[in-house]
Amino acid sequence: MKRRPREGPVLPPFTRLVTLCDVEIDIAKEPLPHGVTVRVQVRLSGRESSRLFLSGDSLIQLPLDGALAETGGAPLPRTSIYLSELVGTRRGITRAFGDEASADSFAAAVRTQLANTLEAS
Q: Is 12 within the bounds of a domain? A: no
Q: Is 62 within the bounds of a domain? A: yes
- pLDDT higher than threshold 70 for residue 99: yes
Cα separation of 14 and 84, whole Å? 25
Query: What is the domain extent for residue 71?
Result: 23-120
Q: Is 78 within the bounds of a domain? A: yes
**Residue 1's pLDDT band (cuts 50, 70, 90):** very low
Q: Is 15 within the bounds of a domain? A: no
Q: Is 34 within the bounds of a domain? A: yes
Position 74 scores a pLDDT of 66
Q: Is 11 within the bounds of a domain? A: no
**Residue 60: helix, strand or coil by DSSP?**
strand
Give percent of the chain above pLDDT 90. Answer: 41
Q: Is 4 within the bounds of a domain? A: no
**How many independent structural domains does the chain possess?**
1
Q: Is 82 within the bounds of a domain? A: yes
Q: How many CB atoms lie within 10 A of CB 18?
A: 11
